[in-house]
Structure 1
Amino acid sequence: MKEPQLLIVEDEQAILHMLITILKKENFFHIDAASSAEEALVLCKMKSYDLILLDITLPGRSGFEVCPLIREISDASIFFLTARSTDLDKLSGFAVGADDYITKPFNPLEVAARIKVHLRRRLGSVPRVEANLFEFGPLSVNTNAGEVRLHGQPVELPAQVYQLLLFFCRHPNQLFSKSQLYEKVWGEEFFGEDNTVMVHIRKLREKIEASPSNPKFIVTVRGLGYKFIPEGGTHESL
């Protein structure tokens, strides 16, 4: 397995140094560090990370604010690292996209163990996504070439359908409502009677699904929205 890429976003130098020291001893990760939200965003645009340790209390933007921005450009798992330990804080963290929530003070050895377990599960079941190439079983998307292939054969997609697929590729296993997809992909405010998303979902399924009426990649969650399943396994469209 390729060495996992880890980013620690922490402005307290003592905590940052402690985490780096402990995690490097594991000889399991490649570690980068950032001391602010803006620095973290720059790094995420330059490099593909597997997991991000994100402090909530940062100078400028908080972790709560920057987490959704990271989600826009990275499919990394995100662990919040914070002294805030109330149930409301934890729920807020998960609501904005966190995968786990670690409260201070913490045992750094436990943190290392939790990261390793999570990454082994993640990298063992979810295909590796490089900065410019997404590969999900028979489906591949090369963003440099703007090329989509299915079972090695090129697939021609209209521009907006391609952008929809690209958004799904960047956010695997995440549920999005029609309004969220419209606002994220089309960049406009959603009006409830607009069927644009449904039409483009149907067009995309016709291009990449073996059976568009029984989709394996892009599944419908009744009453909630759509989810991209990178494994393309057996899932029932509801």
Structure 2
Amino acid sequence: MKKSLLYIEDNEKIGNWVKEELEERGFSVQWLLSGENAEKEVLHHEVVILDIMLPGLDGFTVGKRLKKVAPTVPILLLSARTSIDDKVDGLQFADDYLTKPFHIDELVARLEVLIRRSGGLHSERISLGEHIEVDPEIKMVFDKQTGKEIILTGKQHQILMYFLNHPNKVLPKEQIYEAIWEEPYMTGDKTLMVHISRLRQKIEQNPDSPEIIETLKGIGYRVKL
């Protein structure tokens, strides 16, 4: 299986050479000429090669944004800048720093190390509706349209994962409550209802007409996969 890589480099001569060499060595390369759409694409890759001198946003800015969106995806900075200050600044967020000119075999070796350290590609993501993606291994929820993480509270995350562990099943509210809070459900308690309402505010496109967490009146809830 090919290793998936996001490559951000505005120099077309260098970019074409690196892309061809990496593809010959078993990588699948998505090459961008700037960091403009990088935040949307990074979640689909195992590793990033990032040039510092880019049009628009520089590599330092792009790299910091990528780390916020995908903190587990390693970044290798590739730059003609050789000063210690640049390397120190870059390694505040990046996982490695390689200066130009470089040998392609060294680049490949460094990429292999970064991928091994990170554990490779994310676990298989679960899609909910048209815009939500859940990575159960790293316990993160993303908006596919923006690439940004959706921050859930601990209980909201537990509830969502409980649904995903019981896909397509109608779950009585008593069962959900007792599994999450680990105490008997008291008739009339609205704690679960409030948490689900707040969870819907974060993951539903229209919380008043939910498509992900369905309510079956008088019975409970269901999430369809």
Give the TM-score normalised by the residue count of structure 2.
0.58
Moved more, 14-23 or 142-151: 142-151
Q: How many residues align?
A: 155
Q: Distance in 2 between matches of 1:142 and 1:38?
A: 22
Structure 1 runs (4+) deviating above 6 angstroms are none
**Which residue of 1 is the match for residue 125 of structure 2?**
130
Matches within 5 A, 1:111-130: 111-123=107-119, 128=123, 130=125
Matches within 5 A, 1:140-151: 147-149=160-162
RMSD: 3.4
**Which residue of 2 is the match for residue 52 of structure 1?**
48
Which one has a bigger Cα radius of gyration? 2
Distance 1:142 1:52, change over 3 A: closer
Q: Distance in 2 between matches of 1:107 and 1:152?
A: 47
Q: Distance in 1 between matches of 2:164 and 2:136?
A: 11
**Which residue of 2 is the match for residue 37 of structure 1?**
35
- 1:37 CA displacement: 1.5
Q: Distance in 2 between matches of 1:90 and 1:53?
A: 15
- 1:117 CA displacement: 2.5
Unaligned runs of 5+ in 2: 127-132, 144-155, 167-175, 181-191, 200-225
The answer to whether 1:11 aligns with 2:10 is yes
Q: Distance in 2 between matches of 1:43 and 1:141?
A: 16
Distance 1:22 1:70, change over 3 A: same
- 1:129 CA displacement: 6.1
Give the letter aligned to residue 61 of structure 1: L
Q: Secondary structure at the match of 2:85?
A: helix
Q: Distance in 1 between matches of 2:163 and 2:83?
A: 46
- In structure 2, which of residues 80, 84, 87 is the aligned counterpart of residue 83 of structure 1? 80
Q: CA offsets per residue over residues 202-223 of structure 1, 9 Å max, x none?
A: xxxxxxxxxxxxxxxxxxxxxx
Q: Distance in 1 between matches of 2:17 and 2:118?
A: 25
Question: Is contact 1:52–1:77 with CA below 8 Å preserved after alignment?
Answer: yes
Question: Is contact 1:140–1:150 with CA below 8 Å preserved after alignment?
Answer: no
Q: Distance in 2 between matches of 1:141 and 1:106?
A: 36
Give the letter aligned to residue 12 of structure 2: Q
- 1:40 CA displacement: 2.3
Distance 1:70 1:151, change over 3 A: closer
Question: Is contact 1:23–1:112 with CA below 8 Å preserved after alignment?
Answer: yes
User: What fraction of aligned residue pairs are identical, expressed as a percent?
Assistant: 27
Give the letter aligned to residue 3 of structure 1: K
- 1:106 CA displacement: 0.5
Give the letter aligned to residue 53 of structure 1: I
**Which residue of 2 is the match for residue 198 of structure 1?**
none
Matches within 5 A, 1:1-238: 3-27=2-26, 29-44=27-42, 47-75=43-71, 76-95=73-92, 97-123=93-119, 128=123, 130=125, 132-136=133-137, 147-149=160-162, 152=165, 155=180, 158=195
Q: Distance in 1 between matches of 2:36 and 2:164?
A: 39
Question: Is contact 1:22–1:112 with CA below 8 Å preserved after alignment?
Answer: no
Question: Is contact 1:6–1:49 with CA below 8 Å preserved after alignment?
Answer: yes
Give the letter aligned to residue 135 of structure 2: F
Q: Secondary structure at the match of 2:77?
A: strand
